[in-house]
Every structure is written in C-alpha cells, then in structure tokens.
Structure 1
Amino acid sequence: MNRRRALLGVAGLATTALAGCLGGGASGGSGSSGNASGQSGDALPAPVKGDAEASVTVAVFEDFACSHCRTYNVDVLPQIQSEYIDSGTIRYEHWDMPVVNDQSNYAANAARAVQDRTDDAAFWRYAGLLFENQSSLGEELYGSLANQLDLEAEPVRTAAMNQSYESTVMGNRDQGEQRGVTGTPTVFVNDTAVSGYSFDAISSAIESAR
C-alpha cells in the first residue's frame, strides 16, 4: 500500500509539472486595436514555421510569461523542430493565450509588432528570446530584444506598452477559450488537444495524425 501511494504521489507530481499555467491573471488592455503602423485594424495571422501545406498542423496556445511555456520552448520545442519542423512534416503555429499577468499581454504585443514589421521567421527568433529572458520581461526588454534582431527598439516597445495588437492577441485568446483551452501551453494536433506537453505525447499525436 505504501509503495502504491508513493507511485501515485510521483504520478501526481508529474501531472502537476505538465499542468501548465492557469488562466485568470491577465486581462485585455485598453490599447488601440489593429497594428502599430496604423495601416489596418485587421488581425495578424498565426505565425507559421515548417511546411505551411503539411497535412498535420500543430497549434500551440502559449503565454510568454508562463513558466511552463518557457520549459516547453526551451526543452521540448527544439526536439519538435529537429524531428518534425525542419523536415517539413508539420505545419507549426503559435497562438497567443495571455493568462498570467500584464506582461503576458505586453510581451505578446511586442512579438506581434516584430511579426508585422518583418516576417514570421523574425517573430520566432524574437519569441525565443522572450522565453529565454522571461525573468526580465518588461518595457526595456521589449526594445532591447528588437535591437538584437536589428530592428528599431522604440516602435516595438511602444507597440508592446500600448497593446497596439490587442485585436490579434485577444482574438487568439478568444479562439483558445472556444477550443476549451484553460491553461498554457496547450498543444493541438489537427484540432485534437494533446494531454500534456511532453515530446513523447506530442510526437505520438503527430505520428497518429500522419
């Protein structure tokens, strides 16, 4: 009985470790909707990498301020990149799901400002830097990371703090809520939610979808 309880305890810890960040801490801002360049109020599409025409789509709802999302991006995504994205096996999408705190929204807006001014490739580089520097999320960081990508710091910083891409970020969050997302990261493989965010769980779902 003691051994069984111990095993159940370990299983519980493993489940907790992969549970993700729960919603409730972030809310939509009062910034202007549309993009920071003022050209349009249209929402930006989900950033994509891999084969845009692949038959298997992996969509990840995540929050730049979520510690579980950082773990996923640092430890799991590189394996997915090597195994499935670089080979063109999947279409990989990012969806914003700000749930932790105000920085969740600011960081998402900063990343979308980079996407809008450049391309998806720059978005992915900037997103990776946000996760790597998660402990320092804030106004100064958003601009300095833009500089690292040879972009002007001030427009990205301003877009972040004004939440200029609110229509995109909160539109993504609405989509997540409609799909039953309650925490981050949540991974979908061809519209089916994966249980947890381990590489094995995601890989299994991808192989089944193929």
Structure 2
Amino acid sequence: MARELSRRRALAAGGSILAFGGTVAYVATRSGSTGRYVPSEAHTSEATTGFGVSLDGRPIAGSSDAPVDIYYWTDFLCPFCAKFEAETLPTIGTEYVDTGTARLVGLSYPNIGAYSDPAAVWSRCVWAQVAASEPTAYWRWHGAAFDEQSSGTEWADEETFADVTARTEGVPLAAVEDCRQSRTDALQASIDADVAAAQQSGIQGTPGFVIYNREADAAGTLVGAHPAENVADAIERVLAA
C-alpha cells in the first residue's frame, strides 16, 4: 500500500516515478577526487520506509530526521560506482547528508562479476558488527573497499576483502568472518530484496538511486555516475514537491 501511495504522488504524471535525466545515464564525471566520504553521523534502523525500502541491516549515513532519503544501490565491483564514490559522493555527503537534509541508505545490487554477491555479504557483515557501537567505521571500510578496485573483476576475492576489513579501524575481522559463516543465507535474502526493490523502481544497473521526500511522499530516480550538480538538482526537486 505504501508503495502504491508513493507512486500515485510521485513527481511524474501518470503514476510513475520521475527519472531525472533519463532512465539510464552513465555519464562522465569531472576529473579529480575529493577523497572518500565518511559521514559525520550514521545510524541504524529496523524500520521500513514509506517508499517500501527496508532499512533493517542496511548502512545509513546522516540524521534519522532528515526529510529526504537517498536510496543508493551499488556494487563494489562497479567502475561507475567507484567514479560516483570518488567524484560525487564527497560533495553530496558534505552539502546534504552532513547538513541534515538527506540520509543516505546503502543498498546492494550485485550485478558485475562473480564476487559481487560475496562482496555484498562482506558489507552487510561489517555493518552488523559496527552499527550499534561505531557506525561511521562502516563507511571507512566502504571507502577502503572501493579503493581496491582496479580494471576488470579479478582483483575482488576473499583475500582482498579480508585485508580491507583487517586494516579498517574499528572493524573486527574475526566477528565479520563469523557473520559470513553463519548468516550468509539470510543476508543473501536481504540482498535479493534490495535488487527487487531497485527493479520495481525501474533501476536496472549501478549506481542507481531513488531520492525520496518522506513528508511529501514524492520520489525520483537517477542511474549512473552523475556529477554532483545533477544529484543536487534531483534532491532540490523532491524537496520542492
């Protein structure tokens, strides 16, 4: 019911969610990086949002009171995601997430290579260990994992993700490994739910975004490594709904 309501009140006419700049927009971003983004605040939640996205077990950056949700589907093997992480997210994080305007919800959409699903499980297990005590540690791990990305997909393996986990301050490798051994099936089900939610919103690749004004129940989508000004424009448009 919540999803039907949000679609009826979405920004586009005809009951569909507005796709800012088109449904597929793998565009070149500006050269240069401002460094990996680590939020000033992060939190955990067991809720399901008005848009129908489960927050349980998903990493969240920003204030729980932020009026806008940014649902961010990603794959650690995705080169366009790496571009977004390096060139766009630091600006959006600083100007919208850290200021209390938006909260960023990390969702999984493994679709690039054989290690995409295991990488998503690593991510969920890292979050499970730090969410209650030191949630920003997850985002340090998240950025360090993207720092490992190189051409192709052969770089992604158990050794690489174990090394990233071991050297990320505040993330206990042994506990993460225990989680991977005992909870992979349950976590894979939640990852599959993320993919289903993306596809129901018209997102077929990564990085993909739904930007949702919780109070107005209005939403728009973006797909691709958009520059910061495109993402900012999308946020402002749902804020004005």
1:69 to 65, 69, 81: 81
Match of residue 163 from structure 2: 144
1:186 is aligned, of 185, 208, 212, to 208
Structure 1: which 5+ residue stretches go unaligned?
A: 1-14, 19-41
Q: What is the CA-CA distance between 1:16 and the residue it aligns to? A: 4.7
Q: Give 1:194 shift.
A: 2.4
Q: Distance in 2 between matches of 1:144 and 1:195?
A: 31
The two structures, once aligned, show a CA RMSD in angstroms of: 2.5
Question: What whole-Å deviation, never above 9, does each CA across 1:96-145 have from its counterpart, x for those lacking one?
Answer: 00111121111111011111111132222211111111233210122111
Q: Percent identity?
A: 24
- How do 1:28-39 and structure 2 match up within 5 A? none
Q: Which residue of 1 aligns with 2:58?
A: 46
Deviations along 1:145-175, one digit per CA (max 9) or x if unpaired, are 1212343434434655887121221121121
Structure 2 residue aligned with 1:91: 103
Structure exhibiting the larger radius of gyration computed from Cα positions: 1
Aligned to 1:38: none
Question: When the two structures are superposed, what TM-score results if normalisation uses the length of structure 2?
Answer: 0.65
CA contact (8 A) 1:140 1:157 kept: no
1:121 to 136, 146, 151: 136
| Match of residue 228 from structure 2 | 199
Tell whether 2:191 aligns with 1:169: yes
User: For the residues of structure 1 that align with 2:200 and 2:181, how far apart are their CA atoms?
Assistant: 27
Q: CA deviation at 1:209?
A: 2.1
Runs of 4+ in 1 over 4 A off after TM superposition: 157-163
TM (normalized to structure 1)? 0.74
How far the C-alpha of 1:45 sits from its partner, in A, is: 3.3
More helix by share: 1
Is residue 2:159 matched to residue 1:131? no
The aligned runs of 1:8-23 (5 Å cut-off) are 16-17=26-27
**Contact 1:58–1:93 (CA under 8 A) maintained in structure 2:** yes
CA contact (8 A) 1:56 1:89 kept: yes
- Which deviates more from structure 2 when the two are superposed, residues 107-116 or residues 186-195? 186-195
Unmatched runs of 5 consecutive residues or more in structure 2 = 1-24, 29-53, 213-218
Determine the C-alpha separation between the residues in 2 that align with 1:161 and 1:142: 15
Q: Is the 8 A contact 2:55 2:105 kept in 1?
A: no
How many Å separate the matches in 2 of 1:171 and 1:183?
15
